[in-house]
Amino acid sequence: MDHFNRLCNWYSAQCDGDWEHTYGIKLETLDNPGWTLEIDLSDTELQEKSFAPVHRGDSEEDVSWLHCEVVAGKFEASGGVPDLPEMLETFLQWAGR
pLDDT digits (tens, 9 = 90+) for 24-78: 999 999 988 999 999 999 999 999 999 999 999 876 777 899 999 999 999 999 9
Within a domain: residue 33? Answer: yes
Within a domain: residue 64? Answer: no
The neighbouring-strand residues paired with 35 are 29, 79
Q: What is the mean pLDDT of residues 9-38?
A: 95
Within a domain: residue 43? Answer: yes
pLDDT confidence bin for 1, thresholds 50/70/90: low
Domain count, the chain: 1
pTM: 0.92
41: containing domain? 26-47+71-81+90-97
Contacts of 68 (CB under 8 A, 6+ apart): 51, 53, 54, 75, 76, 77, 87, 90, 91
Within a domain: residue 65? Answer: no
